[in-house]
Amino acid sequence: MKIIFSPSKTMKYKDIDLKNSKDAEFPNHTKTLIEKLKSFSIEEIGNLFKLKGKLLEETYNNIENFDTLSSYRALSLYDGVTFRQLEIEKFSDKEIEYLNKNLFILSALYGAISPNTEIKPYRLDMTINILDESMYKFWSKDINNYLDKYSTEIFINLASKEFSKILDYKKFKVIDIEFRQNIDGKLKNISTEGKKARGMMLNYMTLNQIEDLEKIKEFSEDNYKFSPENSTETKLFFIK
């Protein structure tokens, strides 16, 4: 069982031991993207990334000085809503090993990375087109070929649609995990709630070393419950 996860734009280094580090699988792809980004002015970066002020300056400086930036293990750097649900500082060696073995984070700059992959601060996502082709076309073949070695396993999709759509659903057995909120009798898909829930599910799977699909259905954090009536063989719904 492998787990697919989204990165986050927000990054903040946390001093945690993720054991042995590893290099990114697609350094030439990353180099191509950074070289293209370096060709843009700060105004163009602002328009592309919809940024201004201090955050724009920081993003632009990170691009310009990318070669000299320090590298960090991915899970110690991502700090969005989803990642803040993980009790990383409390994880045992066994739990860190589970993540390093089973988790793949899909990155617009690095491709498919593991929690202990060395990365540098960046802000690129799949919807920002900086090449003559879309980011999906740029990455699709290589990411799916890289994951092909795990094609006999089930992929648990905890990523947002922005990133999970790069997966070849014909090649892999993918189980989508969906979260909904019951508000006044109507099921809603609230973005922030979904992000939190995906993080809580990953935390639950890590703490319980989940390798069985049926065990995933026992997830009950934050009052979520598995909804068999809304679920299918390839899509599991959890509702609160």
Residue 166 φ then ψ, to 5°: -75, -20
What number is the average pLDDT over the span 111-130? 96
Contact 29, 58 (CB under 8 A): no
CB atoms within 10 A of CB 183: 9
| Tokens encoding 123 | 């802000």
d(CA 238, CA 225): 5
Cβ-proximal residues to 103 (8 Å cutoff; 6+ apart), any chain? 2, 3, 5, 114, 115, 202
pLDDT value at 36 more than 90: yes
If pLDDT is split at 50, 70 and 90, which confidence band does 136 have? very high
d(CA 225, CA 210): 17
**Residue 101 confidence (pLDDT):** 96
Which ranges of the chain would DSSP assign to H, the alpha helix? 27-38, 42-49, 53-64, 74-77, 93-102, 135-147, 161-164, 191-207, 213-216
| Tokens encoding 141 | 């073949």
| Tokens encoding 181 | 């909120």
What number is the average pLDDT over the span 167-180? 97
Tell me: the pLDDT tens digits for 202-214?
999 999 999 999 9
pLDDT value at 18 more than 80: no
**Residue 147 confidence (pLDDT):** 97
If pLDDT is split at 50, 70 and 90, which confidence band does 16 have? confident
pLDDT value at 20 more than 90: no
| Tokens encoding 191 | 């973005």
| Cα separation values, 62 from 36, 179, 239, Å | 14, 35, 40
202 CB burial (10 A radius; 0-12, 13-18, 19+): buried
**Residue 108 confidence (pLDDT):** 97
Question: Which of 57, 63, 55 is CA-nearest to residue 10?
Answer: 55
If pLDDT is split at 50, 70 and 90, which confidence band does 50 have? very high
What number is the average pLDDT over the span 79-108? 94
Q: Which of 12-16, 55-59, 144-148 has the lowest mean pLDDT?
A: 12-16
DSSP structure class, residue 104? E
Q: Give the mean pLDDT of the chain.
A: 95
What one-letter code names the amino acid at 133? E
d(CA 233, CA 220): 20
d(CA 207, CA 128): 35
pLDDT value at 199 more than 80: yes
Residue 223 φ then ψ, to 5°: 70, 15
If pLDDT is split at 50, 70 and 90, which confidence band does 89 have? confident
pTM for this prediction: 0.94
What number is the average pLDDT over the span 113-126? 96
What number is the average pLDDT over the span 94-102? 95
Cβ-proximal residues to 146 (8 Å cutoff; 6+ apart), any chain? 25, 26, 111, 112
pLDDT value at 175 more than 90: yes
